[in-house]
A and B are shown apart, each in its own frame.
Chain A
Amino acid sequence: MSDDTPRKSPIATRRQVLAGISALPFMGMLGGKVNAADYPTAEVNTTGLAVTDDKVTVGILHSVTGTMAISETGSVQAEKLAIKQINDMGGVLGRQIDFIQEDGASDWPTFAEKAKKLLVQDKVASVMGCWTSASRKAVLPVFEQYNGMLYYPTFYEGLEESPNVIYTGQEATQQIIAGIDWVAQNKGAKSFYLLGSDYIWPRTSNKIARKHIDKLGLEVVGEEYYPLGHTQFNSVINKIKLRKPDVIYAIIVGGSNVAFYKQLKAAGIDMTKEKPLLLTISVTEDEILGIGGENIVGAYACMKYFQSLPNDNNAEFVTAFKEMWGEEIVIGDVTQAAYLGPWLWKMAVEKAGSFDIDKVREASPGIEFTKAPEGYVRIHENHHLWSKTRVGHALDDGQYEVVFETEDLVEPDPFPEGYQ
């Protein structure tokens, strides 16, 4: 990637444009410049969305204040980066993307209020947003009632398939099954201890994990849940020591992670020895910033993206991200999934030749994004993404080293037969 990533200059020289384009992950699709005049506003916007002859407005709806801000900030940054890159390439159907950002304030009713404002008052053409399942559940009726389109970035529990949402993160089976197969085959794991924070995602995920462990003929020796924000894990750590599982399967979220991994280390469980081995689906590079790399070194994480992923798309993405948001920044799984949102929307709009929500929805299944940082992805009929599942091994510098990836894309299956 060249040093000349696109600048925000409205009048770019030819050389800058070329250099800029070369830095973009989307070059292959560019073809020729799309002229807004070829797509008259009256034809591409028949439902009164915020689309003019040279501008289209989208919404960004995440928490930038409150407890979730630490997790959601990365998604906001990724979405802004994607929008900027799309604009530098000429926008969508010749129109520059403008965004209205609203703060969900880590409060589910606020999410619903702001979602409604974006759809009813601002008439945005799509919304990139939400993080927790609770916030998504709060806005879902709003999106379905006012027919909006939400690009939702987080890995989540599944059991949902809304015509008004594109799920750019993994649903539970995509994230879980390949990881358990991997520890069973490569690490000889026979017994599992399931842990989680007490809400819908960890509970559903552990339910799927338990069913799959049963199918493999292996054993679950314990399953426990703790309230969000819980910080005393000593009793469960003692139980783990007593029952000696081969794998601790941890789905602990948010601030609790810091206490959990520190107490695990203090109790003398050295994860680098892999006795027991720790497998998590909830700790991305963002969480390690809080936990500290030295406290989690040796653990394994199963998700679809790691910052260290060795491919050209990702190298370009990481460089562009750091250039926009600073060298110190880390990029986790959800941040990457959030980055896909604006691109997938742009491609669907261009395929449909229209901003109308119904046409975008119709055009979405089958959309392929070859330049995604995680590699090739494709939108399934059920609005989730086909994507690979990977296992990362935590290093002491807070990064993961990718030790395994599925050969093929894993099919999303939000209502898995035999796992409910």
Chain B
Amino acid sequence: MNATFYTRREWIALAVLAALILIVFPATMDVFRLNLVGKYLTYAFVAAGLVLCWGHGGILSLGQGIFFGLGGYCMAMFLKLEASSPENTAIQSTPGIPDFMDWNQVTELPFWWIPFKSFPFTLAAVVLVPVIFAYIIGAAMFKRRVGGVYFAIITQAIAAILTILIIGQQGYTGGVNGITDLRTLLGWDIRTDSAKFILYFVNAALLIVVLLLGQAVRVSKFGRLLIAMRDKEDRVRFSGYSVADFKIFIFCLAAAFSAIGGAMFTLQVGFMSPSFVGIVPSIEMVIFAAVGGRLSLFGAVYGALIVNWAKTSFSESFPELWLFAMGGLFIAVVMAFPNGLAGLFRSHVEPLLAKLTRKSPSPPAPDATPAEAVKLAAE
């Protein structure tokens, strides 16, 4: 790591975030709430991917649910096979295959399920399957210079297609129900409180790794190229860079982040269903990034936490009205602070902190210049 990897302020922000999710939450919450927070944090992986891909690269993807879902499904397939041992499924007409296959008169494990009996293969597939899929989408779109709103619409359509495919092929995918009743990971019962506790920390640690990785991309030369591409794509192209390849790379990276989140989701929640693949969750994930601030990786984590926490607590308090409260929150965020919570923090809290510590306010972050804000608002 070089000296400019993080500014001092950013190191403090990382320390605060790490302390919050690694110490404060586990110390103050019971396992049920902590498991919920763990679930919210899996969305933060997606939001962090979006910060790089959308906030920095200017590629708005409304289909991140595709990669979250694929990662989650890969993990779910492994866990389901483990849970479908011949002893556990003795009452079925064909013991030893997942229960939903038996209900749909499938009598043999489909060939593409078989590799998922291997844990190393599954771990590789969790990342590689979504990345390869993202590469295909990216290569098909960016090489043809499809971008902007057209790209957003196409990703959304792919999310819808994939949902329909999963639901339609229920004998092989579990259909609308998804893949449910997952029990053990290599013999370790993932449903117990202690397992949930451990998985929370695994998840939190992975998230911090992903955030550091994202920061490494941001401060690299590639990170600056990304911003250049976002703001003046033609100029970058005329300078001799292959814009399409950079875009494909960042899109694949965001897909990999999402997929890790999806796999951790499956482990912590205990099932996967097509309702995480479709259009609605994909747009929700963009909202997490927008609320947190699409230029800030830390903001993405806070965005995912705050929106989901609000969702849970509103719906617990007002089961019949909570959707209106959520809608109000989103409108308020977009109207009042378009750069999200991170923008709010920079413009209001940081000067205040600076005043308190009697130091001059830091210059605005290089990636949030006023000219950019205008451009983003215009898009």
A interface residue numbers (CB < 8 A to B): 64-65, 101-103, 105, 107-110, 112-114, 116-117, 120-121, 132-134, 137-138, 140-141, 145, 157, 159, 198-200, 203-204, 207, 227-228, 415, 420
**Interchain CB contact under 8 A, B175 and A199:** yes
Residue of A140, A200, A420 near B93 (CB, 8 A) is: A420
**Given A116-B32, A134-B177, is A198 in contact with B168 using a C-beta cutoff of 8 Å?**
yes
Most buried by A among B104, B177, B269: B177
**Interchain CB contact under 8 A, A415 and B315:** no
**Interchain CB contact under 8 A, A199 and B315:** no
**Given A108-B178, A140-B180, is A228 in contact with B167 using a C-beta cutoff of 8 Å?**
yes
**Interchain CB contact under 8 A, A133 and B275:** no
The interface residues of chain A lying within 8 Å CB-to-CB of B191 are: 141, 145
B residues 209-260 near A (Cβ < 8 Å) are: none
* Those 9 A-B pairs whose CB atoms lie nearest each other, nearest first: A103-B319, A134-B177, A120-B32, A137-B177, A137-B180, A199-B176, A134-B176, A141-B181, A64-B320
Please, which residue of chain A has its CB at the minimum distance from the CB of B324? A65
**Interchain CB contact under 8 A, B273 and A117:** no
**Interchain CB contact under 8 A, B273 and A121:** no
- Min distance, Cβ A253 to any Cβ of chain B, angstroms: 11
A103-B315, A117-B316, A200-B176 known, 12 other contacts, Cβ within 8 Å: A65-B322, A102-B316, A107-B275, A114-B315, A121-B30, A134-B273, A137-B180, A145-B191, A198-B170, A199-B170, A199-B175, A227-B164
Binary contact readout B308-322 vs A (1 if CB under 8 angstroms, 0 otherwise): 000010011001101
The interface residues of chain B lying within 8 Å CB-to-CB of A157 are: 103
The interface residues of chain A lying within 8 Å CB-to-CB of B167 are: 198-199, 227-228
**Interchain CB contact under 8 A, A415 and B91:** yes
**Interchain CB contact under 8 A, A138 and B322:** no
**Given A101-B319, A145-B191, A199-B170, is A108 in contact with B32 using a C-beta cutoff of 8 Å?**
no
Binary contact readout B171-208 vs A (1 if CB under 8 angstroms, 0 otherwise): 00001111011110000000100000000000000000
Please, which residue of chain B has its CB at the minimum distance from the CB of A65? B323
Residue of B30, B177, B315, B320 near A133 (CB, 8 A) is: B177
Please, which residue of chain A has its CB at the minimum distance from the CB of B193? A120
The interface residues of chain B lying within 8 Å CB-to-CB of A120 are: 30, 32
The interface residues of chain B lying within 8 Å CB-to-CB of A121 are: 30, 32
- Min distance, Cβ B79 to any Cβ of chain A, angstroms: 12
- Min distance, Cβ A176 to any Cβ of chain B, angstroms: 16
**Interchain CB contact under 8 A, B271 and A138:** yes
**Interchain CB contact under 8 A, A113 and B36:** yes
B302 at the interface (CB under 8 A from A): no
The interface residues of chain A lying within 8 Å CB-to-CB of B369 are: none
Bound-state Cα–Cα, A228 to B177, Å: 13
Bound-state Cα–Cα, A14 to B178, Å: 54
Please, which residue of chain A has its CB at the minimum distance from the CB of B276? A109
Bound-state Cα–Cα, A374 to B200, Å: 48
- Min distance, Cβ A279 to any Cβ of chain B, angstroms: 23
Interface size on B, residues (CB 8 A): 36
Residue of A114, A137, A198, A207 near B181 (CB, 8 A) is: A137
The interface residues of chain A lying within 8 Å CB-to-CB of B36 are: 113
**Given A117-B32, A198-B170, is A112 in contact with B269 using a C-beta cutoff of 8 Å?**
yes
**Interchain CB contact under 8 A, A102 and B181:** no
**Interchain CB contact under 8 A, A138 and B315:** no
Bound-state Cα–Cα, A147 to B36, Å: 20
**Interchain CB contact under 8 A, A141 and B320:** no
The interface residues of chain B lying within 8 Å CB-to-CB of A141 are: 180-183, 191, 270-271
A to B CB contacts below 8 Å, 29 in the list: A102-B315, A102-B316, A103-B320, A103-B322, A105-B315, A105-B323, A108-B271, A108-B275, A109-B276, A112-B270, A113-B36, A117-B316, A121-B30, A133-B177, A137-B178, A137-B180, A138-B177, A141-B181, A141-B191, A198-B168, A198-B175, A199-B176, A199-B177, A200-B175, A200-B177, A203-B103, A203-B104, A227-B168, A415-B91
B interface residue numbers (CB < 8 A to A): 30, 32, 36, 39, 91, 93, 100, 103-105, 164, 167-168, 170, 175-178, 180-183, 191, 269-271, 273, 275-276, 312, 315-316, 319-320, 322-323
Bound-state Cα–Cα, A199 to B168, Å: 8
Bound-state Cα–Cα, A114 to B312, Å: 9
Bound-state Cα–Cα, A86 to B272, Å: 38
- Min distance, Cβ B84 to any Cβ of chain A, angstroms: 14
- Min distance, Cβ A191 to any Cβ of chain B, angstroms: 23
**Interchain CB contact under 8 A, A109 and B320:** no
The interface residues of chain B lying within 8 Å CB-to-CB of A198 are: 167-168, 170, 175
Bound-state Cα–Cα, A415 to B323, Å: 40
**Interchain CB contact under 8 A, B180 and A138:** yes
Please, which residue of chain B has its CB at the minimum distance from the CB of A142? B270
The interface residues of chain B lying within 8 Å CB-to-CB of A108 are: 177-178, 271, 273, 275
**Given A102-B315, A415-B91, is A228 in contact with B176 using a C-beta cutoff of 8 Å?**
yes
**Interchain CB contact under 8 A, B178 and A134:** yes
The interface residues of chain A lying within 8 Å CB-to-CB of B319 are: 64, 101-103
The interface residues of chain A lying within 8 Å CB-to-CB of B39 are: 113
Bound-state Cα–Cα, A65 to B178, Å: 21
Most buried by B among A108, A132, A228: A108
The interface residues of chain A lying within 8 Å CB-to-CB of B269 are: 109, 112-113
Bound-state Cα–Cα, A132 to B176, Å: 10
The interface residues of chain A lying within 8 Å CB-to-CB of B271 are: 108-109, 112, 138, 141
Residue of B176, B312, B320 near A65 (CB, 8 A) is: B320
Bound-state Cα–Cα, A141 to B191, Å: 9
- Min distance, Cβ A376 to any Cβ of chain B, angstroms: 30
Please, which residue of chain B has its CB at the minimum distance from the CB of A103? B319
The interface residues of chain A lying within 8 Å CB-to-CB of B180 are: 137-138, 140-141
- Min distance, Cβ A59 to any Cβ of chain B, angstroms: 11
- Min distance, Cβ A316 to any Cβ of chain B, angstroms: 28
Bound-state Cα–Cα, A155 to B32, Å: 31
- Min distance, Cβ A346 to any Cβ of chain B, angstroms: 23
The interface residues of chain A lying within 8 Å CB-to-CB of B312 are: 113
Bound-state Cα–Cα, A351 to B266, Å: 40
**Given A112-B271, A227-B164, A227-B168, is A159 in contact with B177 using a C-beta cutoff of 8 Å?**
no
The interface residues of chain A lying within 8 Å CB-to-CB of B273 are: 108-109, 134, 138
- Min distance, Cβ B342 to any Cβ of chain A, angstroms: 27
Bound-state Cα–Cα, A117 to B322, Å: 17
- Min distance, Cβ B163 to any Cβ of chain A, angstroms: 10
Please, which residue of chain A has its CB at the minimum distance from the CB of B321? A65
Please, which residue of chain A has its CB at the minimum distance from the CB of B318? A103
Bound-state Cα–Cα, A107 to B312, Å: 13
**Given A103-B322, A109-B271, is A200 in contact with B276 using a C-beta cutoff of 8 Å?**
no
The interface residues of chain A lying within 8 Å CB-to-CB of B322 are: 65, 103
**Interchain CB contact under 8 A, A200 and B170:** yes
Residue of A102, A109, A145, A199 near B275 (CB, 8 A) is: A109
Bound-state Cα–Cα, A416 to B12, Å: 63
Residue of B100, B275, B320 near A200 (CB, 8 A) is: B100
